[in-house]
């Protein structure tokens, strides 16, 4: 007993982070052979996409998997990009040292963050095959590329370099490669097809990275190609400073301790997002500290007081110090049109609804939720809908059940939106797929393998809201479809069959064909709107045609409004009827008088779009008599759209040149929705 404590203590030692992850390789996504190869592809492709995005290059990525030894489940993976390349002296650290990276301390949206991913691949390769990973890298300003083999000394978390040389790197067509990286690595793995596969991972990656060109050669030598569908790079994201609402006491202590600022007010202004000069002064006042206090010399109680001011627990003149929201230029959403494009490229179906929520903030971290729903034939009606989860443009393929995004889908009662769902909880059933994307400066995963998001109330609520709004869109669509089908039936009866009968009867009776207008009006007694949106493959335009029939006995007067993809650079052409812009993405026409039995036509085409971008037009009306086939315009929502537009325009004007620029909208407005389904509003 006597010396047991000392004996036990003598066995303790420091463990290197690389030893830790070698033993716990399943934390990094290397827990089974089929999954290990997916993880390796994912880490490599994520790095390529991040590097291209940062260097503002349209990515061109090639992935190739071959069987190195069929008997023993050894695969060789090669990935190649056209990114900026990695300078020679950085290669060993990027590939051979865990927790080495550039994005850990930066607050902005990126795929990789921890500096673990690709080194994990190198480590797993070495562990399972004993082989180092071959890296070929060329940067633009050097004529030759570096070729080097990287292994890992896991006891020390250091790279082991071998066979380093410089070579001339030629493309397949023998031209010189300008810049890029190629990684070749051998590992234990099993290539599989199906829902959890390299193929599926790349397919989903292409949905949320429509600017990327991806080519994949599988072990059977078959080539798959996902072409680039937009030349537009994702919005450039800037790193931001931490926001006072997301700061913990220990973090603030450290920031003060490490500060060389001489004045507290300057320190607050320069080290945080959302703190104006005035707010900095007010924070000092609330914390009862002098603005000239030197941060480094602040006592624990001072720092606690400042944190309380940050959190609104200390006030000035009875008021909480008002802080601006953090800027959202650190986020890069995919945006509605591109989600639509991606979805319709991959899943062939009729109805697609998407929704990009405005950015918002959780614990000082800006984030933004985007959702998409695709519904229609060709998908299984009796199975759970396919859930496509993404975080910062990276597909999440495992742990669906444990993921915040899935939980938010499960929390919605989809039965009221036209999908089957046992007990109104859980993943709904039906011929649909639901896409959900979280863009955030701080995506909280449940583990290093980055496969599921951990619980966060604010993100959950925001995602749920997006789902609810999208659900309303789906219900509207299904109701409209049903109504239109009925109307069309009646319509055909009246316009085709009745006249035919009349004609036939007249010819048999040898009497003149009677005027049916009166009878038809009596039967229908309604104003009917007929809309068609079709892709014209000759002109490469989307043709929209709207016809309004007055089958009532009185003259009618309406404004007809439509939504159209103005935000996504669509162009409206051939609109001979004129009309005017009512708000961003909303166009309207006045139809002064429509006599009984008369019809009015509206026709135009949408240019600058591709097939599948725009497949359905929502038609709204202003007027006293209901229009079958169109929705009554919700004026309040229209106002809201106009107001948000105005705010954004003003924010643009005010945006100063420096990096601290922040849109001034407050959260009340931010939470509104600028998506296409908004006009449905009200009690639908």
**Binders of a second copy in range 98-127 (CB under 8 A):** 99-102, 104-106, 114-115, 126-127
Interaction between residue 174 and a second copy (CB under 8 A): no
Minimum distance between the CB of residue 111 and a second copy, rounded to whole angstroms?
A: 14
Minimum distance between the CB of residue 238 and a second copy, rounded to whole angstroms?
A: 13
Using the rule CB under 8 A, give the single segment among 90-98, 467-475, 493-501, 528-536 that binds a second copy. 90-98
Minimum distance between the CB of residue 311 and a second copy, rounded to whole angstroms?
A: 9
Pick between residue 101 and residue 663 the one whose CB is nearest to a second copy. Answer: 101
Question: What is the CA 348 to chain-centroid distance, rounded?
Answer: 20
Q: Where would I find the beta strands (DSSP E) of 564-670?
A: 571-573, 580-583, 586-594, 599-607, 619-622, 627-628, 631-632
Pick between residue 313 and residue 654 the one whose CB is nearest to a second copy. Answer: 313
Q: How far apart are CA 555 and CA 566, in angstroms?
A: 33
CB 401 within 8 A of CB 425: no
Q: How far apart are CA 273 and CA 258, in angstroms?
A: 18
Give me the phi and psi of 679, to 5 degrees please.
-65, -15
Using the rule CB under 8 A, give the single segment among 248-256, 387-395, 648-656, 665-673 that binds a second copy. 248-256
Nearest of 589, 538, 535, 541 to residue 562 by alpha carbon: 589
Q: Which of residues 561-600 bind a second copy (CB under 8 A)?
A: none
Q: Which residues contact 607 (CB under 8 A, 6 or more apart)?
A: 540, 541, 570, 571, 573
Interaction between residue 447 and a second copy (CB under 8 A): yes
Interaction between residue 233 and a second copy (CB under 8 A): no
Interaction between residue 95 and a second copy (CB under 8 A): no
Site string for a second copy, 133-162 (x = CB under 8 A): ------xxx------------xx-------
Interaction between residue 84 and a second copy (CB under 8 A): yes
Q: How far apart are CA 199 and CA 530, in angstroms?
A: 42
Pick between residue 370 and residue 451 the one whose CB is nearest to a second copy. Answer: 451
Minimum distance between the CB of residue 15 and a second copy, rounded to whole angstroms?
A: 4
Which residues are paired to 549 by β-bridges? Answer: 528, 599
Pick between residue 27 and residue 535 the one whose CB is nearest to a second copy. Answer: 27
Minimum distance between the CB of residue 209 and a second copy, rounded to whole angstroms?
A: 19
Q: Which residues contact 27 (CB under 8 A, 6 or more apart)?
A: 21, 447, 448, 449
Q: Which of residues 1-40 bind a second copy (CB under 8 A)?
A: 1-6, 8-9, 11-17, 19-20, 22-24, 26-27, 31-32
**Of these, 129, 133, 550, 678, which contacts a second copy (CB under 8 A)?**
129
Minimum distance between the CB of residue 87 and a second copy, rounded to whole angstroms?
A: 5
Pick between residue 69 and residue 671 the one whose CB is nearest to a second copy. Answer: 69
Q: How far apart are CA 402 and CA 445, in angstroms?
A: 11
Interaction between residue 128 and a second copy (CB under 8 A): yes
CB 238 within 8 A of CB 329: yes
Interaction between residue 251 and a second copy (CB under 8 A): yes
Report which secondary-structure segment, H or E, holds 478.
helix 457-492
Using the rule CB under 8 A, give the single segment among 78-86, 200-208, 281-289, 536-544 that binds a second copy. 78-86
Q: Which of residues 360-419 bind a second copy (CB under 8 A)?
A: 399, 401-402
Q: How far apart are CA 614 and CA 291, in angstroms?
A: 56
Q: Which of residues 48-67 bind a second copy (CB under 8 A)?
A: 51, 54-55
Interaction between residue 454 and a second copy (CB under 8 A): yes
Nearest of 558, 539, 646 to residue 600 by alpha carbon: 558
Using the rule CB under 8 A, give the single segment among 259-267, 288-296, 441-449, 582-590 that binds a second copy. 441-449
Pick between residue 97 and residue 644 the one whose CB is nearest to a second copy. Answer: 97
Report which secondary-structure segment, H or E, holds 352.
strand 351-356
Minimum distance between the CB of residue 8 and a second copy, rounded to whole angstroms?
A: 6
Q: How far apart are CA 41 and CA 79, in angstroms?
A: 8
Minimum distance between the CB of residue 655 and a second copy, rounded to whole angstroms?
A: 24
Pick between residue 251 and residue 557 the one whose CB is nearest to a second copy. Answer: 251
Pick between residue 260 and residue 624 the one whose CB is nearest to a second copy. Answer: 260
Token readout for 87 is 């300078």
Pick between residue 71 and residue 580 the one whose CB is nearest to a second copy. Answer: 71
Using the rule CB under 8 A, give the single segment among 96-104, 482-490, 549-557, 586-594 that binds a second copy. 96-104
Token readout for 323 is 């802080």
Pick between residue 153 and residue 566 the one whose CB is nearest to a second copy. Answer: 153
Cα dihedral 179, 201, 205, 451, rounded to 10, equals -110
CB 518 within 8 A of CB 524: no
Helix (H/G/I), strand (E/B), else coil: 442? coil
Minimum distance between the CB of residue 644 and a second copy, rounded to whole angstroms?
A: 33
Pick between residue 304 and residue 632 the one whose CB is nearest to a second copy. Answer: 304
**Of these, 47, 97, 206, 521, which contacts a second copy (CB under 8 A)?**
97
**Of these, 248, 290, 639, 650, which contacts a second copy (CB under 8 A)?**
248
Q: Which of residues 269-328 bind a second copy (CB under 8 A)?
A: 300, 303-304, 313
Interaction between residue 427 and a second copy (CB under 8 A): no
CB 444 within 8 A of CB 434: no
Pick between residue 17 and residue 655 the one whose CB is nearest to a second copy. Answer: 17
Minimum distance between the CB of residue 283 and a second copy, rounded to whole angstroms?
A: 18
Give me the phi and psi of 563, to 5 degrees please.
-95, 150
Interaction between residue 537 and a second copy (CB under 8 A): no
Pick between residue 127 and residue 669 the one whose CB is nearest to a second copy. Answer: 127
Cα-trace Rg, the chain: 30
How, if at all, do strands 365-375 and 394-396 pair?
unpaired
Residues contacting a second copy: total by CB under 8 A: 77
Report which secondary-structure segment, H or E, holds 362.
strand 360-362
Q: How far apart are CA 360 and CA 440, in angstroms?
A: 10
Q: Where would I find the beta strands (DSSP E) of 126-241?
A: 133-138, 145-153, 158-167, 180-188, 213-217, 223-226
Minimum distance between the CB of residue 83 and a second copy, rounded to whole angstroms?
A: 8
Give me the phi and psi of 349, to 5 degrees please.
-155, 175
Question: What is the CA 518 to chain-centroid distance, rounded?
Answer: 53
Neighbours of 76 (CB within 10 A): 19
Minimum distance between the CB of residue 12 and a second copy, rounded to whole angstroms?
A: 4
Pick between residue 119 and residue 353 the one whose CB is nearest to a second copy. Answer: 119
Pick between residue 89 and residue 653 the one whose CB is nearest to a second copy. Answer: 89
Sign of CA dihedral 304, 307, 312, 317: positive
Q: How far apart are CA 324 and CA 339, in angstroms?
A: 30
CB 275 within 8 A of CB 283: yes
**Of these, 85, 189, 428, 431, which contacts a second copy (CB under 8 A)?**
85
CB 100 within 8 A of CB 140: no
Minimum distance between the CB of residue 389 and a second copy, rounded to whole angstroms?
A: 15
Interaction between residue 253 and a second copy (CB under 8 A): yes
Minimum distance between the CB of residue 366 and a second copy, rounded to whole angstroms?
A: 16
Minimum distance between the CB of residue 365 and a second copy, rounded to whole angstroms?
A: 11
Token readout for 531 is 């809309």
């Amino acid at each position: 007993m006597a010396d047991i404590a000392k004996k036990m203590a003598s066995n303790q030692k420091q463990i290197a982070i690389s030893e830790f992850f070698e033993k716990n390789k399943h934390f990094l996504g290397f827990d089974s052979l089929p999954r290990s190869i997916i993880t390796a592809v994912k880490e490599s492709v994520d790095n390529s996409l991040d590097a291209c995005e940062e260097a503002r290059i349209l990515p061109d990525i090639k992935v190739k998997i071959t069987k190195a030894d069929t008997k023993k489940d050894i695969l060789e993976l090669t990935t190649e990009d056209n990114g900026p390349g990695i300078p020679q002296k950085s290669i060993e650290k990027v590939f051979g040292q865990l927790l080495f990276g550039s994005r850990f301390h930066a607050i902005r949206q990126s795929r990789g963050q921890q500096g673990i991913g690709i080194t994990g691949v190198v480590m797993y390769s070495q562990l399972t095959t004993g082989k180092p990973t071959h890296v070929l890298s060329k940067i633009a300003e050097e004529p030759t590329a570096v070729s080097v083999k990287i292994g890992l000394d896991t006891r020390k978390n250091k790279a082991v370099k071998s066979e380093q040389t410089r070579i001339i790197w030629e493309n397949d067509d023998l031209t010189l490669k300008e810049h890029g990286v190629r990684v070749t690595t051998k590992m234990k793995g099993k290539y599989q097809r199906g829902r959890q596969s390299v193929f599926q991972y790349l397919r989903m990656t292409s949905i949320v990275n429509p600017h990327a060109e991806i080519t994949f050669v599988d072990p059977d030598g078959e080539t798959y190609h996902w072409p680039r569908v937009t030349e537009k790079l994702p919005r450039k994201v800037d790193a931001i400073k931490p926001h006072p609402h997301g700061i913990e006491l220990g973090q603030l202590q450290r920031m003060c301790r490490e500060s060389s600022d001489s004045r507290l007010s300057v320190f607050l202004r320069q080290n945080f997002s959302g703190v104006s000069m005035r707010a900095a002064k007010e924070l000092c006042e609330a914390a009862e500290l002098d603005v000239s206090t030197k941060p480094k010399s602040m006592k624990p109680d001072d720092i606690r007081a400042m944190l309380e001011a940050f959190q609104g627990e200390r006030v000035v003149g009875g008021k909480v110090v008002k802080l601006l929201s953090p800027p959202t230029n650190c986020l890069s959403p995919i945006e509605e049109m591109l989600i639509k494009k991606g979805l319709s490229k991959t899943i062939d179906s009729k109805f697609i609804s998407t929704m990009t929520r405005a950015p918002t903030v959780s614990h000082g971290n800006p984030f933004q939720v985007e959702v998409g729903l695709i519904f229609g034939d060709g998908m299984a009606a009796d199975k759970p809908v396919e859930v496509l989860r993404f975080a910062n443009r990276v597909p999440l393929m495992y742990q669906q059940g444990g993921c915040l995004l899935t939980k938010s889908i499960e929390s919605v009662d989809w039965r009221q939106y036209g999908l089957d769902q046992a007990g109104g909880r859980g993943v709904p059933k039906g011929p649909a797929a639901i896409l959900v994307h979280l863009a955030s400066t701080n995506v909280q995963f449940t583990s290093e393998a980055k496969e599921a998001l951990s619980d966060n109330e604010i993100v959950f609520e925001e995602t749920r809201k997006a789902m609810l709004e999208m659900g309303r869109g789906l219900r509207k669509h299904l109701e409209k479809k049903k109504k239109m089908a009925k109307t069309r039936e009646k319509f055909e009866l009246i316009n085709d069959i009745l006249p035919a009968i009349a004609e036939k009867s007249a010819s048999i009776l040898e009497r003149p064909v009677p005027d049916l207008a009166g009878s038809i009006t009596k039967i229908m007694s309604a104003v009917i709107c007929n809309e068609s949106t079709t892709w014209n493959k000759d002109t490469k335009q989307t043709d929209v045609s709207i016809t309004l029939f007055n089958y009532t006995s009185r003259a009618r007067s309406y404004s007809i409004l439509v939504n159209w993809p103005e935000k996504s650079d669509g162009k409206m052409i051939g609109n001979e009827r004129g009309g005017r812009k009512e708000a961003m993405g909303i166009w309207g026409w006045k139809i002064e008088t429509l006599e009984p039995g008369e019809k009015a036509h509206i026709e135009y085409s949408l240019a600058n779009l591709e097939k599948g971008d725009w497949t359905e037009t929502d038609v709204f009306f202003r007027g006293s008599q209901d229009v079958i086939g169109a929705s009554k315009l919700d004026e309040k929502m229209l106002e809201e759209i106009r107001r948000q537009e105005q705010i954004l325009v003003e924010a643009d004007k005010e945006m100063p040149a420096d990096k601290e620029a922040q849109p001034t909208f407050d959260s009340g407005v931010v939470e509104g929705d600028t998506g296409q389904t908004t006009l449905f509003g009200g009690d639908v």
